[in-house]
């Protein structure tokens, strides 16, 4: 008989338990979680096998594992687990450990995922933005009616943020390439569909959040995610429109311009969706699972970004004295979301999309 040697990674077990708030040893491998999961494929289904690997500390099996990204954290498995283990939270913790594993440079992932490093995480954009404004020669509170470009000239803002976005995009591609090659090595399935065809199918899935609609335990989760998702896309479109308005000399925009109205609708969508999420996590923990530091960091940053964006608008029309201070805070929040994206929970959107494309192209998702 062949002998299989297992090398449990004790640190990995400890970290998974801590991040998920679940006791892995309670799992008796009954398979109930797999039986109730509506997203699990017939062949090699999840999450029972992942629960076993997590309890055994098999880090390699759970790194570059596309299955943990097929899970949409509906909580059905946790609701049915007879041992109260919460597999949904375990898979969520594994996803977080995955994007930390692939993030480059690694020190940023460490800074962004430890509460004690939060002051440092805030200090980095604070200093860099301050230096850019100083280099632009506008580091003082301007006199007269509020016009944010007097404090941070558009040419400096757009070019510096564009450059930093390019650098972060390069780091993200670096991490994603490693993730893709690990999935190919750990899940060597034969390709059944082209990458572009799979990408198109994944995008059509994401657009309607089809997989969220299969949840039975957390029915409202799809609604809150859709509100935040479309609110955010609209805000990105409005930002792009504002840059065009600057370039074509049509800035600042009047209050009732279509772009402003769209921006305000988007902010309202974001605010509503985030409020639902925060309420559910605060007051319905049993149903919505464990909320760890990375969950709260993303929710709080998104909420502050939404609120500060609206306050900024009022501050400009009302010529508030503190308008430029609020603007500075808003820029730090933008930094947090865009430039720290691969290192905070926001990055799971990128990794999930890539994993779904891989799974589709390998016939692991067929619906």
365 binds ligand SF4 (CB under 6 A): no
359 binds ligand SF4 (CB under 6 A): no
Scanning 30-38, 148-156, 199-207, 274-282 for contacts with ligand SF4 by CB under 6 A, the matching segment is 30-38
Q: Which residue has the tokens 């990674």?
A: 9
Q: Which pairs with CB-CB distance under 8 Å and at least 24 residues apart come from 12-19?
A: 12/57, 12/59, 12/97, 13/54, 13/55, 13/56, 13/57, 15/93, 15/97, 16/54, 16/90, 16/93, 16/94, 16/97, 19/93, 19/96, 19/97, 19/292
Scanning 1-9, 79-87, 181-189, 353-361 for contacts with ligand SF4 by CB under 6 A, the matching segment is 79-87
As a whole number of angstroms, the distance between CA 139 and CA 151 comes to: 7
Smaller CB separation from ligand SF4, 30 or 163: 30
97 binds ligand SF4 (CB under 6 A): no
Scanning 10-18, 40-48, 322-330, 345-353 for contacts with ligand SF4 by CB under 6 A, the matching segment is 40-48
Residue closest to 86 by CA, chosen among 38, 132, 44, 54: 54
As a whole number of angstroms, the distance between CA 87 and CA 55 comes to: 11
The stretches of the chain forming alpha helices (DSSP H) are: 10-20, 32-36, 48-56, 59-62, 67-70, 76-80, 87-102, 106-112, 118-136, 148-151, 154-186, 195-208, 221-247, 258-283, 285-288, 293-318, 323-338, 348-361
**Least CB distance to ligand SF4 at residue 353 (A):** 16
29 binds ligand SF4 (CB under 6 A): yes
72 binds ligand SF4 (CB under 6 A): yes
344 binds ligand SF4 (CB under 6 A): no
**Least CB distance to ligand SF4 at residue 340 (A):** 26
For ligand SF4, the binding residue among 58, 62, 81, 146 (CB under 6 A) is: 81
> If 0-12 CB within 10 Å is exposed, 13-18 middle and 19+ buried, where does residue 140 land?
exposed
91 binds ligand SF4 (CB under 6 A): yes
83 binds ligand SF4 (CB under 6 A): yes
Smaller CB separation from ligand SF4, 211 or 308: 211
CA distances to 161, 286, 335, 337, 343 from 121, rounded to whole Å, are 17, 31, 10, 12, 11
37 binds ligand SF4 (CB under 6 A): yes
Largest CA distance in the chain: 84
Smaller CB separation from ligand SF4, 72 or 364: 72
Question: Using CB under 6 A, which residues numbered 183 to 222 contact ligand SF4?
Answer: none
What sign does the CA torsion over 83, 292, 76, 288 have?
A: positive
Smaller CB separation from ligand SF4, 330 or 345: 345
Q: Binders of ligand SF4: how many residues, by CB under 6 A?
A: 27
**Least CB distance to ligand SF4 at residue 204 (A):** 19
Smaller CB separation from ligand SF4, 330 or 360: 360
Residue closest to 57 by CA, chosen among 5, 91, 13, 23: 13
95 binds ligand SF4 (CB under 6 A): no
104 binds ligand SF4 (CB under 6 A): no
Smaller CB separation from ligand SF4, 75 or 175: 75
Residues that bind ligand SF4 (CB under 6 A): 27-33, 37, 39-40, 46-48, 51, 71-77, 81, 83, 85, 87-88, 91
């Amino acid at each position: 008989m062949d002998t299989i040697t297992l090398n449990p990674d004790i640190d990995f077990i400890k970290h998974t338990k801590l991040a998920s708030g679940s006791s892995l040893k309670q799992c008796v491998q009954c398979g109930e979680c797999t039986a109730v999961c509506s997203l699990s494929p017939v062949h090699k289904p999840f999450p029972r096998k992942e629960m076993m690997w997590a309890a055994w500390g098999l880090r390699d099996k759970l790194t570059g594992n596309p299955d943990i990204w097929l899970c949409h954290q509906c909580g059905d498995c946790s609701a049915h687990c007879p041992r109260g283990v919460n597999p949904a939270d375990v898979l969520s913790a594994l996803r977080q450990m995955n994007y930390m594993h692939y993030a480059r440079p690694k020190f940023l992932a460490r800074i962004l995922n430890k509460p004690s490093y939060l002051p440092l995480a805030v200090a980095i954009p604070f200093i860099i933005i301050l230096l850019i404004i100083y280099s632009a020669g506008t580091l003082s509170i301007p006199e007269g009616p509020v016009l944010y470009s007097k404090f941070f000239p558009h040419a400096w803002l757009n070019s510096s943020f564009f450059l930093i976005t390019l650098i972060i995009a390069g780091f993200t591609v670096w991490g994603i390439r490693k993730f893709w090659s690990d999935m190919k090595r750990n899940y060597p399935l034969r390709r059944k569909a082209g990458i572009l065809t799979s990408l198109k199918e994944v995008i059509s899935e994401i657009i309607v959040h089809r997989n969220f609609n299969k949840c039975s335990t957390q029915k409202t989760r799809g609604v809150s995610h859709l509100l935040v998702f479309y609110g955010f896309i609209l805000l990105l479109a409005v930002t792009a429109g504002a840059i065009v308005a600057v370039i074509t000399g049509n800035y600042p925009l009047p209050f009732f311009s279509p772009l402003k109205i769209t921006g305000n609708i988007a902010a309202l969508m974001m605010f509503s969706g985030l409020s639902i999420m925060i309420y559910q996590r605060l007051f319905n923990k049993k149903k919505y699972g464990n909320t760890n530091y990375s969950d709260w960091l993303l929710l709080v940053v998104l909420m502050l970004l939404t609120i500060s964006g609206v306050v900024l608008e009022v501050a400009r029309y009302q010529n508030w004295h503190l308008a430029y201070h609020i603007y500075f805070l808003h820029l730090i929040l933008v930094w947090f979301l865009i430039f720290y994206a691969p290192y905070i929970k926001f990055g799971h959107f990128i990794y999930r999309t890539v994993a779904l494309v891989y799974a589709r192209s390998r016939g692991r998702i067929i619906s």
